[in-house]
Structures are given as structure tokens and as C-alpha cells.
Amino acid sequence: MVESKPYRAPCTAGSKMSKYDGDLLSDPAKYRHIVGVLQYATLTRPDIAYSVNQLCQHMHAPTSTYLIVAKRVLRYLKGTLNLGLYYCKGPITLTAFCDVDWAGNPDDRNSTIGYGVFLGSNLISWSAKKQHIVSRSSTEVEYKSLSLTITKLFWLRMLLKELHISLPSPPIIWCDNSSALVLA
């Protein structure tokens, strides 16, 4: 991969990968090794969290298509070596953003929930998780995402309190689904 060209994004926008795409790999060890390394990279590169989450769902039976996608993420990392988490001083406020890929998995129609939590302008916590059940509406899955994000914010708020760091204002949560906000 040293001589490969950099790629502009960790995944292709709008594309949905199916477990039936491509042929099963004869030796899945290479794929598992690449994805394991990518999982480790998500500790400082939240921009690849969604793509790596998608790749991790197929560790048991990887296909040639998933290997190509894993290499695409590596090519993206090659082109963005200067990106990462940088922390700077600023106001001590908690802000969170949450979103959902409703019924985004073409195989089982499960959704992927994601959130990011900022302390001031610094990203301090993030996640991308596939749900275990199918949600019946976008409101339901967005509400679950909101609930997960609130839980994380509450935990972080309690941690700051134990460290004797007080917040000047309540945390703010941004959600793009008006029905979930009304329900909350």
C-alpha cells in the first residue's frame, strides 16, 4: 500500500455494502489484521469510525469487496496523515451531536447510531454502533440515538464533577430529527 494513491474519503457516500457482495476470501487473516489495525487507529481518528464499524461487522466471513473497502480506508489515511485530534484551551462546555443511518444495512435493515461529544471545541468522545434490532421508524431510532448520547453526556458530566470541574451551562445536544426532539 506504500505506492498506492491517496483516497479522498474513508468510504463512498451513499453506498451500502452487503455481505453477499464479492467472493469469500480464501485467507481472511490479512483482512482481519488490516481491520484490527484500523480499529486501533480510530482511537485518534474518529473520521474513520463509521467505515471501520462497517468493516468489523464482516470479520467472520470477509469478502473481496470488503478487502477493497479496507484498503480504501488505508489509502484515505495515507492522504490525511496530518489529520488527528488536536486539543486547545477554551470554554468548558459540553456539546454533543448525534445522528443515525436509519435501516442502513441492506442485509438486516438495522441502523447505525453515531455521536460525538465536545468539551469546548475539542472532541473527547465518539461512537458508531450498529443496533441489534430493527427500528420501525426514523423517530424511534433517532430517539434511541438521543438517549445513548444523553447517557454519555451524563457520565461525562459526573466525571467532571468528581474532578471538581464545574460546567458554566448545561450540556447542549444537537439532533436533526424534530419528531425525536418532540418525543424527548
Going from the C-alpha of 45 to that of each of 13, 81, 133, 167, 182, the distances in angstroms are: 18, 10, 28, 27, 33
Residue 57 near residue 18 (C-beta atoms within 8 A): no
pLDDT recorded at residue 118: 96
Predicted structure pTM score: 0.76
Asked if pLDDT for residue 154 goes beyond 80, the answer is: yes
pLDDT tens sequence across 76-98 = 999 998 888 889 999 999 999 99
pLDDT band, residue 18 (cuts 50/70/90) = confident
Distances from the Cα of 84 to the Cα of 7, 44, 62, 87, 94, angstroms: 17, 6, 28, 10, 20
Residue with cell 467472493: 23
Which pLDDT belongs to residue 132?
81
180 pLDDT more than 70:
yes
CATH code for the structural domain at 94-183:
3.10.20
Burial of residue 77 (number of CB atoms within 10 Å: 0-12, 13-18, 19+): buried
**Is the pLDDT reported for residue 166 higher than 70?**
yes
Using alpha carbons only, what angle is made at residue 69 by residues 96 and 134, rounded to the nearest 5 degrees?
55
What confidence tier does 25 reach under pLDDT thresholds 50, 70, 90? very high
All CATH 3.10.20 domain ranges in the chain, comma separated: 94-183
Neighbours of 152 (CB within 10 A): 20
**pLDDT tens digits, 116-149:** 999 999 999 998 888 888 888 889 999 999 999 9
Distance CA 57, CA 143 (A): 23
Q: What mean pLDDT is predicted for residues 165-175? A: 94
Give the type of residue at 41. A
Q: In what order do the strands lie in the sheet with 172-175?
A: 122-130, 112-119, 94-101, 172-175
Residue 14 pLDDT greater than 70, yes or no: no
Give the mean pLDDT of the chain: 90
